[in-house]
Amino acid sequence: MSIDLIETFGASTLQHGPLSDRVYLMKLSRDDVPQILDHIDGLAVRHGYSKVFAKVPEPARRHFEQDGYRVEAAIPDFYNGSTAGLFMARYYHGDRLIDHAADRVRQVLEAARGKAGPAPAAGDEDGLECRLATESDCGQMADLYRAVFPSYPFPIDDPAYLARTMAENVIYAGIWEDGSLLALASAEIDRPGENAEMTDFATAPELRGRGLANRLLGTLEALMAEAGIKTCYTIARATSFGMNIVFSRHGYRFGGTLIKNTQISGGLESMNVWHKRLFREKA
């Protein structure tokens, strides 16, 4: 898989490149506002990107709106269980706003909302081992990701990348049968912000429908609760009935749709944001 570049501006982190044809502001330091806006605009214009996607704390909203951004999704208690996180976008080409899969996106969202409820029982199948992955598993993990995703916004098909993220802020949970990896998912943890992205779900195609993603999400959520994480969220493929239903059934709330946001499996896809508060402050 080819990848886009990750770089810093001040204390903020950005990803940009032709793969997803965008600039992605992954982490914003308030000290970099408003100077970072000119830097992002310069990147977009210089490279001809058609979209900027920015993860922005509510207090910085005004600066981004004044620069032509709009809110596509929101999580009310994203940072430390109290400050909203906004997913904001600026479009440089009008055709980036046109999603030819919009009808399917609406169907998926309707189906997912119809399945909303408390998390279902995970169900333990005989012979399956659900556990956290270790560095020694990275080869198998990369193989599974490579088989499931022909393209992806991060190099999850590279064992060295997986090992590096594992040593930093990502935990991976997998399901094995007789030593073979069947399914995988991760939680990317923002400890200062007390939130975690539940992401990188992959199940071997021939094994879909067995509830493996449901089991992995339950496992990761329990670990996040133990670690004191207050809010979990995901950015799920908006045309995937399975993944959107999994999160809705686990009590996640819909936060909005990011239009033609991410390059996955050979094309730009819209993504749905779902979020869940793990803890409530006592009155």
Q: What is the pLDDT along the chain (283 residues), one digit of tens a residue?
A: 557 899 999 999 999 999 999 999 999 999 999 999 999 999 999 999 999 999 999 999 999 999 999 999 999 999 999 999 999 999 999 999 999 999 999 999 999 999 997 766 655 667 899 999 999 999 999 999 999 998 888 999 999 999 999 999 999 999 999 999 999 999 999 999 999 999 999 999 888 888 999 999 999 999 999 999 999 999 999 999 999 999 999 999 999 999 999 999 888 999 999 999 997 654 4
Report the pLDDT value the prediction gives residue 94, as an integer from 0 to 100.
Answer: 95
| Residue 125, pLDDT score | 63
Same domain for 150 and 39, yes or no, is no
Q: Decide which of 67, 97, 127 is a domain's last residue.
A: 97
Nearest in space to 60 (alpha carbons), one of 79, 81, 80: 79
Contacts of 58 (CB under 8 A, 6+ apart): 83, 84, 85, 86
How high is the pLDDT of residue 241?
95
CATH number of 220's domain: 3.40.630.30
- Beta bridge partners of residue 175, listed in sequence order: 130, 183
Last residue of a domain, one of 52, 77, 97: 97
CA distances from 80 to 67, 215, 256 (A): 27, 26, 21
pTM for the model stands at 0.94
- What was the pLDDT predicted at 105? 98
What pLDDT is attached to residue 117?
74
User: In the listed set 97, 124, 152, which residue is the last one of a domain according to the structure?
Assistant: 97
The predicted structure's pLDDT at residue 283? 41
Residue numbers of the domain that contains 204: 102-277
Q: Is residue 11 included in any domain, yes or no?
A: yes
At residue 265, the pLDDT reads: 81
Task: Look at residue 210 in the predicted model and tell me its pLDDT.
Answer: 87
Interval 149-175: pLDDT, tens? 988 889 999 999 999 999 999 999 999
Strand partners, 272: 236, 257
